[in-house]
Amino acid sequence: MTGRIFDIKRFAIHDGPGIRTTVFLKGCPLNCLWCQNPEGIDSGSGLWIKQNQCIGCGLCFANCLYGAISFEQIPRINLSACQKCWTCVNLCPSKALRRIDSEVSALSLMQELLLDKLFYDVSGGGVTLSGGEPLTQPEFVFDLLELLKKEGIHTCLETSLFAPLQIICKLKNVLNYLICDIKLIDEKEHCKFTGESNRIILDNFRSIADFPNILVRVPLIPGITAKEENLKAIGEFVRSVRKDIEIELLNYNWLCGSKYVQLDKPHFNTEAAAFSQEEMDKFYSWIPPCG
């Protein structure tokens, strides 16, 4: 079984317990306005354009057989015309153009992840699957998790829970730790900012709340999710399902704006900034205590 990934982050300390290696899988059914990993939304192949590395040689423009590249100081890719032949990537002398994704087998990826096993063992860490939404590639995910389980590797998966319930329930047999992202509790707001209803997400959370190790994460987005009514409602919802589930608030990552530049896409708010510690404390005060 093969899957499509777009990044591997080693020595991660915020994606589950201990020191971890996080694998980012391509594809996501949601289209969050603020997405921190916009390169992972599309399930297919794609291109980065690192503008600060471009030396203006024009080789990509001159050698594109499909007329998909225009050139005005930096290359612009017409994605509808691009045939993903990767000629431009192979010719770029400064590596300003590169593929976002790679296709890997579950076995070869597992063997690469085992290179960090010493760090997992001494820290109580392991492997985390993230995205995108990893459950858009369920067969590959379960193959990989089974292989890691046989090697005694602690596994974690971060999901929006926007997936068929039967897939999510299967995780109980192969997964040690589950991170669930809950962004907005109001259905209309969720539709507005992610493109989809949150009904399946909330229903799935109710159904899998007996999973032994669960963390709920809420991304704090200025003016969207970081509101008192939203955070209180998420906290009350989680506590109504199970009182001892930990809720973590993720500060806004303003650095993701550079990814939108490289993808030649507009960013929803170039002025948005991370919250101060005082603001973070206030947000946490709106969440009902765990226990």
pLDDT in tens, 173-205: 999 999 999 999 999 999 999 999 999 999 999
Q: Which helix (H) or strand (E) element contains residue 66?
A: none
Return the amino acid letter for 223: G
Number of domains in the chain: 2
Tokens for 124, please give them.
């109580």
Do 69 and 89 meet the contact criterion of CB atoms below 8 Å apart? no
Q: What is the CB-side half-sphere exposure of residue 141 using CA atoms within 13 A?
A: 28
**Co-location of 181 and 66 in the same domain:** no
Mean pLDDT, residues 19-32:
97
In terms of residue numbers, what domain contains 72?
47-99
Do 14 and 22 meet the contact criterion of CB atoms below 8 Å apart? no
CATH of the domain at 276: 3.20.20.70
Return the amino acid letter for 69: I
Question: What residues pair up with 131 in beta bridges, in sequence order?
Answer: 25
**Co-location of 149 and 271 in the same domain:** yes
| Integer CA distances (angstroms), 116 to 3, 8, 23, 126, 145, in order | 21, 12, 13, 9, 16
Mean pLDDT, residues 67-91:
88
**Residue for token pair 């949601």:** 30
CATH of the domain at 88: 3.30.70.20
Q: What's the pLDDT band for 253 if we cut at 50, 70, 90?
A: very high
Pairing of strands 177-181, 154-159: parallel
| Integer CA distances (angstroms), 270 to 145, 208, 222, 260, in order | 38, 37, 11, 10
Tokens for 275, please give them.
């919250």
Do 38 and 259 meet the contact criterion of CB atoms below 8 Å apart? yes
Mean pLDDT, residues 140-148:
98
Do 228 and 219 meet the contact criterion of CB atoms below 8 Å apart? no
Is 290 contained in some domain?
A: no
Tokens for 262, please give them.
């490289």
**Co-location of 170 and 207 in the same domain:** yes
68 CB neighbour count, 10 Å cutoff: 21
Say whether pTM exceeds 0.75: yes
Mean pLDDT, residues 209-229:
96
**Co-location of 93 and 174 in the same domain:** no
pLDDT in tens, 107-132: 999 999 999 999 999 999 999 999 99
Cβ within 8 Å of residue 92, ≥6 positions away: 59, 60, 98
At what angle are helices 228-241 and 199-207 packed, to 10 degrees? 30
